[in-house]
Amino acid sequence: MNQAQVFKALGDPARLTMISRLTTAEPQTIGELSADLGMSRQGARKQLKVLESAQLIQLRQKGRQTEVSLAVDQLQQARRFIERLEQQWDQRLHALKTLVEGHQPDD
Amino acid sequence: MNQAQVFKALGDPARLTMISRLTTAEPQTIGELSADLGMSRQGARKQLKVLESAQLIQLRQKGRQTEVSLAVDQLQQARRFIERLEQQWDQRLHALKTLVEGHQPDD
DNA sequence: GCTTTATGCAACTTTTAGGTTGCATATTAT
DNA sequence: ATAATATGCAACCTAAAAGTTGCATAAAGC
């Protein structure tokens, strides 16, 4: 799984709305999730496919309807990715600070 | 600042590379950051503009060159956004679990 | 069996993104 | 002064994304 792809999938208001809805109630059917997004059912369906390819959701056939559930793992990985960036960034700052202090022993 | 816009900005390999580079060395000039991305300087410049509109980086003119630095705040907000989603999700699971246990007092 | 519901898929249009080339310009170095 | 460097901006091209409409179909309800 490509990290950029996951962020890209999250980078759309409609898709972010659907993800957010899934955190509060789950599973939901494709029909439920596709309502009130200001677009056609088929339009929403396309966005769900994007989320599915990014492995942010899972689909499961249930009779004539399809249940959608959140794949929290992928969300977690996205968060951790950002976390690592933040860590790298401030590790560098600390290293820099130590270096500077080393050159000025009397603080 | 729009949350989807930030994720969208992160949702491209070249842009993610630039952000990542900035966590390890900063500030860098536009020229430095634009090298080795497999695209022209002007192409890279466009991507930097995307990152700037998403407020993930800041530009600062310095003579004939421009320094680019990371705006960690925005990264932090993105991470927190995902964190909140994860929290909502597992708060719901706990609520559900409690509810179920309430109905089956003898576990 | 007939109808309604919940979907799927393909073709098409329009908008946005990603990237290029070409040229202009201000700053620094010689 | 001239040349080299570090940029900027606009026009253009191509490809991908976002969304639509129209039609097909399997499952459920009556």
Q: Where in chain B are the domains? A: 3-103
Distance from CA of B39 to the nearest CA of A (A): 18
Which CATH architecture does the domain made up of A3-103 adopt? Orthogonal Bundle (1.10)
Nearest CA in chain A to B7: A11
Statement: residue B38 has pLDDT above 60: yes
Distance from CA of B55 to the nearest CA of A (A): 15
- For chain B, what percent of residues have pLDDT higher than 70? 93
pLDDT digits (tens, 9 = 90+) for B50-92: 999 999 999 999 999 999 999 999 999 999 999 999 999 999 9
Best CA proximity match to A10, nearest among A67, A58, A60, A50: A50
In a 13 Å sphere around the CA of A27, the CA atoms on its Cβ side amount to 15
Cβ–Cβ below 8 Å for A88 and B9: no
Residue type, A23: T
* Residue B43 DSSP label: H
Give the three-class secondary structure for A2.
coil
Separation CA A12–CA A47 (nearest Å): 9
Average pLDDT over residues A19-40: 96
State residue B1's pLDDT score. Answer: 73
**Residue of B28, B81, B85, B94 best to disrupt the A interface, most CBs of A under 10 A:** B85
pLDDT digits (tens, 9 = 90+) for A61-95: 999 999 999 999 999 999 999 999 999 999 998 88
Inter-CA distances, A38 with A9, A11, B2, B62, B85, Å: 18, 17, 18, 46, 22
Confidence of residue B28 (pLDDT cuts 50, 70, 90): very high
**Average pLDDT taken over every residue of chain B:** 93
D14 C1' to B94 CA distance, Å: 50
Confidence of residue B102 (pLDDT cuts 50, 70, 90): low
| A68 neighbors A59 (Cβ within 8 angstroms) | yes
